[in-house]
Amino acid sequence: MIPRVHKRGSHTFGLLNYLYGKGTHEEHVDPHLVAAWDSFAPDPGRDSQATKRQLQQLLDQPVQALAESRRPAKHVWHLSVRAAPDDPVLSDEQWGEIARRMVAATGIAPAADESGCRWAAVRHADDHIHIIATLVREDGRRPRLNNDAKRSQAEARLIEAEYGLKQLSTGDGTAAQRPTSAERHKARRQGRERTAREELRESVRGAVTGARSEEEFFGRLAAAGLLIRKRKAPSGDLLGYKVALPDDRNKDGEPVFYPGARLAPDLSLPRIRERWSADSDQISSTDTPGSASPNSPSAARRRTATAAWVAIGVVEHCDDAVAAAYIAATGEVLDALALTSAAHTRSELREAAFAFERASRSHVRAVRGHDRALRQAARDLVHAGPALGRGEDGATTAMAIDMLFFLIAAAAHWHAKKGHAQQAEAATRAAEHLRNAYQPAAAQPLGVLYQRGRRLSRPVLLRQTVLLRDALPRLAEQILAEPGWYALAATISEAEAAGHDPAALLSDAAESRELGTAESVSDVLVWRLRRRADLPADATGIPKNRTVKNPATVRPATARATTSGRRFGEQAPGHTR
């Protein structure tokens, strides 16, 4: 059940006219009163003798009884209460009782207080009611409405439990402002997938991703085609900004501007500057195997996979403020990946970024600076440009998605431990979208490795089987029974040919995180080994018969990292638990 306190107004009749009207799209059906301050209040919906003007005059009587100088300028209070889509249809009597509880909880008409404000609850749809009240009590005083929104949310949680409705999470004030009904209707009329507010939030998040200065940020906003207004102090210092879509106009034909803080709390100019203040020491990008250039899309994706892997341990084990910074930076990486990935993964990655936006903020204040590696990864992705959906670009995209899935699972776990229900749910939804994006990204590179593994000679496969059983005795039989074993066998061969100790690599990759809940352990190990051994993610260009390098060039396996957080077992995003 979702209660929402709307902006206060000054026209009682105007709101009644809307509540009892047909709606902007003829969506209001049978508008009628379900409860009011007085059981004899007229109902213009079902009483042919009653009028909206009569109801308005009765609601406004306490206001009109005051001297004009004492009347509040905004005296109309409006609360809507909406049931969840899966909830049963409630009766008028049930909605009436809910209305009475809401006005009591918020301070409009406290229980057993005969001098409370006048109010009326109108139902014009199966799933919600609107409560209108005038903000002068019968005794001429003003109601105490401190934290009315929070109190309505708390009462909604109690109502859900008592009525057996879907249990929703109470917000913590860090969520982005929801689009209004008017904004949603406008978007539908204009054929937009999302409201102007949501489109602007996505565009601004994309512009700030990896940016290091105001000039770069505002340059990206302009390049995205947004209209920009800057707010400056008399000294000339920049205080804030607003943005608008060129084709989003009000009734007077003027652009509708939104301040950054109204798009999301972390998109205000002061909060954005916190990111830049920690970027004084820049991280230089280095070349990576399988990439023609250190600034190529595939190189940026490989660095992203490495940064995400390191970040998992930070989120699981570090100070809360540092973990919060890494989680916030994860949102930037998702934004950047969605902006630059190929068409067959872009839609799901965009949805993952859109969902994770809610998980990137909480009341735990992030200490910026520690997250520099992830922010650098986001910047690398943006500056490397769009990636192809095939070859090393496509395969490193799958690798990056794989690692980001684990990072977002760790973020969901972290939020759940802190009691951040909305953020944990948002991270879980983002992980599901990453699962969907992983499947098309990984299909081609894993298919190539599978075929390469099938072509390995029988003696080589037997030798690798023995190696697997020695290195991972508890997992070996499960891996050997999986179709992905052949892709792993091909990867082991490549790692050995590159001069690595495959047994040490396998042991290190398996012990770094729990694998017991993975549906395909072999798929998980493929990406771990290819990243740890610096093997190209795409195997199409690798000769089938590579010779082992000089033993002197063999590099030791990377240091093992154990974790105590076992709730989120590692698995390829395409698999279910």
| Whether pLDDT at 350 is above 70 | yes
What one-character DSSP code corresponds to residue 9? B
The more confidently predicted of residues 150 and 548 is: 150
Residue 504 shares a structural domain with residue 400: yes
Cβ proximity of 557 and 508 under 8 Å: yes
Whether 168 maps to a domain, the answer reads no
Cα separation values, 239 from 155, 266, 279, Å: 38, 15, 21
**Residue 569 binned pLDDT confidence (cut-offs 50, 70, 90):** very low
The more confidently predicted of residues 256 and 176 is: 256
> For residue 332, with 0-12 CB atoms within 10 Å meaning exposed, 13-18 middle and 19 or more buried, which class applies?
buried
Residue 133 shares a structural domain with residue 218: no
Q: What is the pLDDT of residues 392-419, one digit of tens each?
A: 999 999 999 989 998 999 999 999 999 8
Q: Which among 144, 163, 182 is the end of a domain?
A: 163
So what's the pLDDT on residue 543? Answer: 60
Whether 34 maps to a domain, the answer reads yes
| Whether pLDDT at 132 is above 90 | yes
Whether 169 maps to a domain, the answer reads no
State the Cα angle at 332 between 367 and 411, rounded to 5°.
65
Distance between CA atoms of residues 402 and 380, nearest Å: 18
**Residue 46 binned pLDDT confidence (cut-offs 50, 70, 90):** very high
Residue 217 shares a structural domain with residue 330: no
Residue 315 shares a structural domain with residue 373: yes
The number of residues in the chain equals 577
Report the share of the chain in percent with pLDDT over 70: 88
Residue 537 shares a structural domain with residue 472: yes
So what's the pLDDT on residue 511? Answer: 81
So what's the pLDDT on residue 25? Answer: 63
Cα separation values, 267 from 177, 203, 209, 348, Å: 12, 11, 11, 23
Residue 222 shares a structural domain with residue 321: no
Whether 417 maps to a domain, the answer reads yes
Cα separation values, 87 from 2, 164, 189, 230, Å: 12, 9, 28, 45
pTM (two decimals): 0.74
Strand, helix or coil for residue 255: strand
So what's the pLDDT on residue 556? Answer: 36
**Residue 544 binned pLDDT confidence (cut-offs 50, 70, 90):** low
Whether 58 maps to a domain, the answer reads yes
At 440, list the tokens. Answer: 């098309």
Q: Looking at residue 31, which CATH number applies to its domain?
A: 3.30.930
Q: Which among 163, 184, 214 is the end of a domain?
A: 163
So what's the pLDDT on residue 551? Answer: 35
Strand, helix or coil for residue 83: coil
Mean residue pLDDT of the chain comes to: 87
**Residue 519 binned pLDDT confidence (cut-offs 50, 70, 90):** low
Residue 402 shares a structural domain with residue 342: yes
**Residue 291 binned pLDDT confidence (cut-offs 50, 70, 90):** very low
The more confidently predicted of residues 511 and 316 is: 316
Strand, helix or coil for residue 500: coil
So what's the pLDDT on residue 189? Answer: 86
Dihedrals phi, psi of 124, to nearest 5 degrees: -130, 20
Residue 90 shares a structural domain with residue 226: no
| Whether pLDDT at 289 is above 60 | no
Transcribe 331-386 into DSSP letters: HHHHHHHHHHS-HHHHHHHHHHHHHHGGGG--SS---TTTTHHHHHHHHHHHHH-P
Whether 129 maps to a domain, the answer reads yes
Distance between CA atoms of residues 324 and 287, nearest Å: 29
Q: Which residues contact 318 (CB under 8 A, 6 or more apart)?
A: 326, 370
| Whether pLDDT at 340 is above 90 | yes
Helix runs in 50-147, H state only: 52-64, 92-106
DSSP-derived pairing of the beta strands 258-259 and 238-244: antiparallel
Range from 137-146, 154-163, 183-192, 323-332 carrying the lowest mean pLDDT: 183-192
CA 107 to chain centre: 33
So what's the pLDDT on residue 520? Answer: 80
Distance between CA atoms of residues 480 and 482, nearest Å: 6
| Whether pLDDT at 531 is above 60 | yes
Distance between CA atoms of residues 65 and 48, nearest Å: 28
The more confidently predicted of residues 141 and 514 is: 141
- Give the torsion through C-alpha atoms of 460, 465, 470, 472, to 10 deg: 130
Residue 362 shares a structural domain with residue 506: yes
User: Which amino acid would we find at residue 388?
Assistant: L
| Whether pLDDT at 283 is above 50 | no
Residue 117 shares a structural domain with residue 50: yes
So what's the pLDDT on residue 1? Answer: 87
| Whether pLDDT at 514 is above 70 | no
| Whether pLDDT at 573 is above 80 | no
Our separate counts of H helices and E strands in the chain read 20, 8
The pLDDT of 194-204, averaged and rounded, is: 93
Q: Which residues contact 211 (CB under 8 A, 6 or more apart)?
A: 217, 220, 275, 276, 379
Distance between CA atoms of residues 450 and 398, nearest Å: 16
So what's the pLDDT on residue 81? Answer: 94
Instruction: Give the count of domains, the chain.
Output: 3
| Whether pLDDT at 345 is above 90 | yes
Q: What is the pLDDT of residues 357-382, one digit of tens each?
A: 999 998 898 887 888 899 999 999 99
| Whether pLDDT at 547 is above 50 | no
Residues spanned by the domain of 235: 193-263
The more confidently predicted of residues 77 and 29 is: 77
Q: Which among 147, 163, 179 is the end of a domain?
A: 163
Q: What is the pLDDT of residues 213-237, one digit of tens each?
A: 999 999 999 999 999 999 999 998 9
Cβ proximity of 104 and 151 under 8 Å: no
Q: What is the pLDDT of residues 425-476, one digit of tens each?
A: 999 999 999 989 998 999 999 999 999 999 999 999 999 999 999 999 989 9
CB-CB neighbours of 57 under 10 Å: 14
The more confidently predicted of residues 555 and 330 is: 330
Cβ proximity of 145 and 107 under 8 Å: yes
Signed CA dihedral, 474, 477, 483, 487: sign only = positive
Lookup result for tokens 């068409």: 343
**Residue 85 binned pLDDT confidence (cut-offs 50, 70, 90):** confident
Cα separation values, 91 from 34, 88, 123, 128, 483, Å: 9, 10, 10, 11, 54
At 218, list the tokens. Answer: 């505002």
| Whether pLDDT at 557 is above 50 | no
Whether 44 maps to a domain, the answer reads yes
Q: What is the pLDDT of residues 89-124, one digit of tens each?
A: 999 999 999 999 999 999 999 998 999 999 999 999
Transcribe 101-117 into DSSP letters: HHHHHHTSS-TT-TT--
| Whether pLDDT at 517 is above 90 | no
Say how many Å lie between the first and final Cα of the chain, rounded: 30
Residue 141 shares a structural domain with residue 200: no
Beta-bridge partner residues of 255: 249
What one-character DSSP code corresponds to residue 34? E
So what's the pLDDT on residue 576? Answer: 37
Residue 90 shares a structural domain with residue 152: yes
> For residue 237, with 0-12 CB atoms within 10 Å meaning exposed, 13-18 middle and 19 or more buried, which class applies?
exposed
Whether 181 maps to a domain, the answer reads no
So what's the pLDDT on residue 178? Answer: 78
Cβ proximity of 397 and 441 under 8 Å: yes
Q: How many CA atoms lie within 13 A of 416 on its CB side?
A: 15
**Residue 286 binned pLDDT confidence (cut-offs 50, 70, 90):** very low
Q: Which residues contact 382 (CB under 8 A, 6 or more apart)?
A: 209, 210, 336, 339, 340
| Whether pLDDT at 254 is above 90 | yes
Distance between CA atoms of residues 312 and 38, nearest Å: 58
